[in-house]
Amino acid sequence: MQNLLKCAVINDLSGFGRCSLTVALPVISALGIQACPVPTAILSNHTGYDDFYFEDYSDRMKLYYDKWEALNLHFNSIYTGFLGSEKQVSLILDFISRFKRDDTLLFVDPVMGDNGKRYTTCDENLCNRMRELVARADIITPNLTEACILSDTPYIEDVTLDHHDQIFEIGEKLLALGPKTVVITGIRTNGIMYNFVRSRENDERFCTSSPFVAQEYCGTGDLFASLLCGYLTLGVPHKEALEKTQNILSKALYHSHNMGVPPLDGVAFEPFLKEL
């Protein structure tokens, strides 16, 4: 009983379009970890579609996790993703003060935007307050858009190899905000996808790479973060966890592309759950 791992997943529930909780829960469960959701918002479908129903869950979250505190729950990891409002930063900091122990991994995916643009639900105040959460994290996994917002750097449109030093500098700025490890994800350069890692742990600074798979899919960042969070919760070291994450992600992307899955519908990861 003692050894069973638990991960609290603070993210939105989007009914259609694989992202956030509909990705995190199956992936983390398939890795043998109990996945415990705290919804931040409920949507009919993610915000990439032309229209969606959106209900902010901020006013209910405390009522929800108060009961968890009464049950004296603690978690081996806390994974935060999409936030429905700025107020949720305070709620998550409160959640951390109640449920994080010294050995709990705090994994923050600062979901704010993509392709140089903020998501429609993410205003400037939310972006600013996201830094408070980032400061507390063991690991953050921004894409380039989010890394630029957090570090107050202009977005780099078409990344070439010449930009790579600049991206490591952005990683340095993000590390200075307080997290222990920064992974800037999904940097496409000349047909290769790179992840840039900068960590206080062993003073690490390295890139991982994998071939770009023909098509970009919504929710790719969520699949990446869910896999990585799961492997790190299991105690897999950074580099190996990233390799395992990238391996499954590439297979799921190839499969989605081959099956003609519409990019908005997200990465079809389901056939690969049994490989985890």
Q: Which residues bind ligand PXL (CB under 6 A)?
A: 12, 14, 19-20, 43, 46-48, 82, 111, 119, 218-219, 221-222
How far apart are alpha carbons 27 and 22 in whole angstroms? Answer: 9
Helix (H) or strand (E) holding 140: strand 139-140
Contacts of 266 (CB under 8 A, 6+ apart): 17, 18, 19, 23, 46, 217, 218, 219, 223
Nearer to ligand PXL by Cβ, of 199 and 230: the residue is: 230
How far apart are alpha carbons 270 and 273 in whole angstroms? Answer: 6
**Minimum CB–partner distance for residue 210 and ligand PXL (Å):** 19
* 6-14 vs 77-80, strand pairing mode: parallel
Nearer to ligand PXL by Cβ, of 104 and 141: the residue is: 141
**Minimum CB–partner distance for residue 10 and ligand PXL (Å):** 12
CA 271 to chain centre: 21
Nearer to ligand PXL by Cβ, of 76 and 246: the residue is: 246
**Minimum CB–partner distance for residue 33 and ligand PXL (Å):** 21
Q: 24, 79, 46: which is closest to 273 by C-alpha?
A: 24
**Minimum CB–partner distance for residue 3 and ligand PXL (Å):** 32
Q: Quick one: DSSP state of residue 143?
A: B
Torsion angles phi and psi, residue 39, rounded to 5 = -75, 135
Nearer to ligand PXL by Cβ, of 218 and 249: the residue is: 218
**Minimum CB–partner distance for residue 202 and ligand PXL (Å):** 30
Q: Cβ of 69: how many Cβ atoms within 10 Å?
A: 13
Nearer to ligand PXL by Cβ, of 122 and 175: the residue is: 122
Nearer to ligand PXL by Cβ, of 218 and 248: the residue is: 218
How far apart are alpha carbons 122 and 250 in whole angstroms? Answer: 28
Q: Quick one: DSSP state of residue 222?
A: H
**Minimum CB–partner distance for residue 266 and ligand PXL (Å):** 8
